[in-house]
Amino acid sequence: MDLTVYEPKDVVKPLAILRGHHNTITSTIFERVRGDCLATSARDNVARVFDLRMMRDILFIKGHEKEISTMTWHPIHSSLLSTGGGDGSMMHYLLDEPNNPPGVAPTIAAYDATDPTTAPAQSIYPAHKIPYAHDFPIWSLDWHPLGHILASGSNDRVTRFWTRARPGETDSFNDRYHIGEAAAEAQGTWDRRGNRRQRQEEEEQEAEDEMEGLVDQKMPSKASGLPGIPGLPGLTAGIQIPGMGSVIPPPPFANPGVPPPPPGMDLSNPPDFAQLAEMMKKAGIPPPTANGQFPPPPPGMLPPGLLPPGGFQIPPGYMPPPNMTGGPPPPPPVQFTGGIPGMSVPGLGTQSEAETASAASIRRRGPLPSQEESLQMEQRKGKYTRAR
């Protein structure tokens, strides 16, 4: 198949006719950096690079087993050409390095020949192959403007982004895109049922977390937060009291329901109740009655010796103690602005007043003031009087 080149100013008369392909041409693309070369691909499984200054092919691109469906130049390195095949393979060519396979005789470049216009085209083989880049034909290839990422689109409805291998990656050329799924699965770099390596890492992480959990379980447990209350059923004597450390709690009661005697009291020498009554008389406290209870205080008086706490309000009918001038003033009575709807309570207003107050708190729906009226109000105040 021939490729016709036209001058933009004259599309009637062709400028040149480029020959070399033997099947339908699939793509053409100009070199981006210098603009002196034109690359073409066809269904004859090869691509050609033409020098527009001589209007002839100078490079013969080989290596694809099926037709070349698309190609792209690197945006920075003019000697790097990438191609995509109909079988899903991707090839990268260095146009200044033939990369001849074993058993193939090398050829010289047309520029190195005595007469470049008549020298045969130099054969170039791929410097890097990705035979299994896609499952179906690759329809588009394009480099990032910075040249560090290559995007490929295929008929398998997948778009992939390719970049260089990072330092330390030793198995980047042994994945399923380079050696196929079967070989990659045999080497352990790919799993047909999923990402085996990722699943293995997750299992190792789970095992590590489980071991850390077992170590945490072996650590001593913290003390219980329940205090050791003697006599409370359900609590043993070994429970520690929070904040008391290892202090032994008091022993339980000997007789359930009977509290223990006060500390320092000798049960063998009981106190003399007559002496206690004499001491209470001297202190001004009346002795207990026959049934063991103290007599009630006189009406309007507090028990002798009992002082109310600070700020305590003396109830009505009780006289304050001699050393207490009086409590704070009583709080003001609560006043309500409106009554309760449906109820008429003295001092709280009538039902109509309550309804009026509640209705006043409800926002009535009405038209909002227009912008023109707001502007007129501001102009009356002396604002916005000068047109802008």
The rounded distance, in Å, linking the Cα atoms of 281 and 284 is 5
Tell me what pLDDT residue 371 has: 80
Q: Quote the pTM value.
A: 0.50
Composition of the chain by helix, strand, coil, percent to 5: 20, 20, 60
Collapsing DSSP to helix, strand or coil, 94 comes out as strand
Tell me what pLDDT residue 214 has: 72
CATH number of 3-164: 2.130.10.10
- The tokens for 29 are 């693309």
The residue extents of the domains of the chain are 3-164, 173-197
The rounded distance, in Å, linking the Cα atoms of 304 and 301 is 8
List of E strands, 8-112? 10-18, 25-30, 37-42, 47-51, 56-61, 68-73, 80-85, 90-94
Tell me what pLDDT residue 241 has: 55
Which pLDDT tens digits describe the chain residue by residue (388 residues)?
A: 788 888 888 888 888 889 889 899 999 999 989 889 999 999 999 999 999 999 999 999 999 999 999 999 999 999 999 999 999 999 999 999 999 999 898 888 988 888 988 899 999 999 999 999 999 999 999 999 999 999 999 998 899 999 998 888 888 888 889 988 888 888 877 777 666 566 677 788 888 888 887 766 666 655 554 555 555 554 554 555 555 555 555 666 556 556 666 666 666 777 777 777 777 777 666 666 656 565 666 655 655 556 666 666 666 666 666 555 555 555 665 555 544 555 554 544 555 555 555 555 555 556 666 788 888 888 888 887 877 6
Give the residue from 121, 120, 141 showing the smallest Cα distance to 130: 141
Tell me what pLDDT residue 66 has: 92
The rounded distance, in Å, linking the Cα atoms of 87 and 16 is 32
The rounded distance, in Å, linking the Cα atoms of 214 and 235 is 29
Collapsing DSSP to helix, strand or coil, 366 comes out as coil
Question: Sheet containing 68-73: which strands, arranged edge to edge?
Answer: 68-73, 80-85, 90-94, 128-130
Q: Give CA separation, 120 vs 20, 123, 202, 347, in Å.
A: 12, 9, 58, 117
What Rg, from alpha-carbon coordinates, does the chain have?
51
Residue 21 CB coordination number (10 Å)? 20
The rounded distance, in Å, linking the Cα atoms of 75 and 46 is 22
The rounded distance, in Å, linking the Cα atoms of 224 and 241 is 8
Q: For residues 321 and 307, is the Cβ–Cβ distance under 8 A?
A: yes
Give the residue from 173, 184, 66 showing the smallest Cα distance to 130: 173
Tell me what pLDDT residue 197 has: 65
